[in-house]
């Protein structure tokens, strides 16, 4: 079978090469969109006891299914428990409180507990309970970040939680992958030249990879579009806005 296929490709090599280049060029236009239909995560078992307890807390006590932890650090000598400092914190999370996917925002101002204040007294944190799950909070992180305003008077803000961790992990992984490819590709080219003894022959594996990778990513994008729609339709028959996970609103 492979012998006949190889003979066929050789007889029509010009047509096969032209088609491969056309398909590869067309696939490259959508290959970069493949990450938009892929969700990072999968670390949590939806059937675990801890997840069951989290759902009970969310439904019966309104604590939310996921959370964001926002940390505020003042300058040396600042008093995070002071009314002025807490006023800056309140202004920072004001838009976040009104977000439809936010269940509650709890911090020192709401509870008066010193556990929300750092040991040196110069910083504090607030816990933002979300109405969505950990996995669903990842595509919404951009909106949450935009709503959490940077405070003034030398106070810095940092956001933590499942969604920021997942986003930063994916970003760092992509950065490391690009760096690894930039180092390995020249080395692979040198090895191929030494093995094949010809520039034309050594370029063939690189050409095949250059055509196969964008084509594969384009297929991932196409499959991801269909899987995403099927998943959303199973979740709720009234889901709207299927164009982007970050804009999907379900009732």
DSSP notation for 161-215: EHHHHHHHHHHHHHHHHHHHHHHHHHHHHHHHHHHHSSHHHHHHHHHHHHHHHHH
Q: Which residue has the higher pLDDT, 251 or 139?
A: 139
Percent of the chain beyond pLDDT 70? Answer: 86
- 3-class secondary structure per residue, 89-136: HHHHCHHHHCCCCEEEEECHHHHCCHHHECCCCCEEEEEEEECCCHHH
Q: DSSP state, 245?
A: G
> How many angstroms separate the CA atoms of 76 and 27, rounded?
54
Write out the residue range of the structural domain in which residue 225 sits: 190-251
Q: Is residue 112 part of a domain?
A: yes
Domain count, the chain: 2
Among 76, 7, 32, CA closest to 216: 32
How confident is the model at residue 201, as a pLDDT?
86
Instruction: Point out the least confidently predicted range of 107-111, 131-135, 176-180, 186-190.
Output: 131-135
What is the band of 251 on the pLDDT scale with cuts at 50, 70, 90?
very low
- How far CA 190 is from CA of 150, 176, 180, 194, 201, in Å, comes to 50, 22, 16, 6, 12
Instruction: Tell me: do 77 and 110 sit in the same domain.
Output: yes
Cβ 228 vs Cβ 33: under 8 Å: no
Instruction: Tell me: do 67 and 162 sit in the same domain.
Output: yes
> How many angstroms separate the CA atoms of 106 and 162, rounded?
17
- 3-class secondary structure per residue, 13-60: HHHHHHHHHHHHHHHHHHHHHHHHHCCCCCCCCCCCHHHHHHHHHHHH
CATH of the domain at 144: 3.30.70
pLDDT digits (tens, 9 = 90+) for 54-89: 778 777 776 667 889 999 999 999 999 999 999 999
What is the band of 109 on the pLDDT scale with cuts at 50, 70, 90?
very high
Instruction: Tell me: do 84 and 150 sit in the same domain.
Output: yes
Domain end position, chosen among 109, 132, 166: 166
Q: Residue 70: in which H helix or E strand, if any? A: strand 66-73
Helix (H, G, I), strand (E, B) or coil at 1: coil
Instruction: Tell me: do 77 and 157 sit in the same domain.
Output: yes
Q: Which residues contact 211 (CB under 8 A, 6 or more apart)?
A: 20, 21, 23, 24
pLDDT of 117 strictly over 90:
yes
Q: Please, what is the average pLDDT of the chain?
A: 82
Q: Which residues are bridge partners to 124 per DSSP?
A: 72, 117
Q: Is residue 135 part of a domain?
A: yes
Q: Is residue 43 part of a domain?
A: no
Among 239, 217, 221, CA closest to 230: 239
Q: Averaged over 214-241, what is the pLDDT?
A: 64
- How far CA 239 is from CA of 58, 59, 134, 235, 251, in Å, comes to 21, 21, 19, 8, 7
Q: Is residue 72 part of a domain?
A: yes
């Amino acid at each position: 079978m492979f012998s006949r296929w190889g003979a066929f490709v050789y007889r029509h090599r010009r047509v096969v090469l032209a088609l491969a280049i056309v398909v590869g060029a067309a696939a490259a236009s959508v290959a970069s969109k493949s990450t938009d239909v892929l969700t990072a995560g999968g670390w949590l078992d939806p059937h675990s006891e801890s997840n069951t307890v989290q759902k009970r807390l969310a439904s019966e006590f309104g604590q939310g299914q996921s959370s964001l932890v926002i940390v505020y650090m003042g300058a040396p000598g600042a008093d995070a428990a002071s009314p002025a400092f807490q006023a800056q914190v309140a202004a920072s999370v004001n838009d976040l409180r009104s977000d439809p996917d936010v269940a509650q925002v709890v911090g020192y101002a709401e509870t008066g507990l010193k556990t929300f204040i750092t040991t040196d007294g110069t910083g504090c944190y607030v816990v933002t309970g979300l109405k969505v799950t950990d996995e669903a909070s990842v595509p919404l992180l951009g909106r949450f970040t935009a709503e959490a305003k940077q405070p003034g008077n030398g106070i810095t803000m940092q956001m933590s939680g499942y969604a920021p961790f997942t986003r930063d992990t994916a970003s760092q992984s992509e950065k490391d992958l690009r760096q690894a490819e930039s180092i390995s590709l020249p080395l692979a080219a040198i090895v191929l030249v030494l093995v094949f003894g010809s520039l034309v022959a050594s370029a063939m594996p690189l050409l095949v990879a250059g055509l196969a990778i964008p084509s594969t990513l384009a297929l991932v994008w196409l499959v991801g579009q269909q899987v995403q729609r099927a998943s959303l339709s199973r979740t709720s028959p009234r889901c709207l806005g299927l164009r982007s996970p970050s804009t999907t609103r379900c009732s």
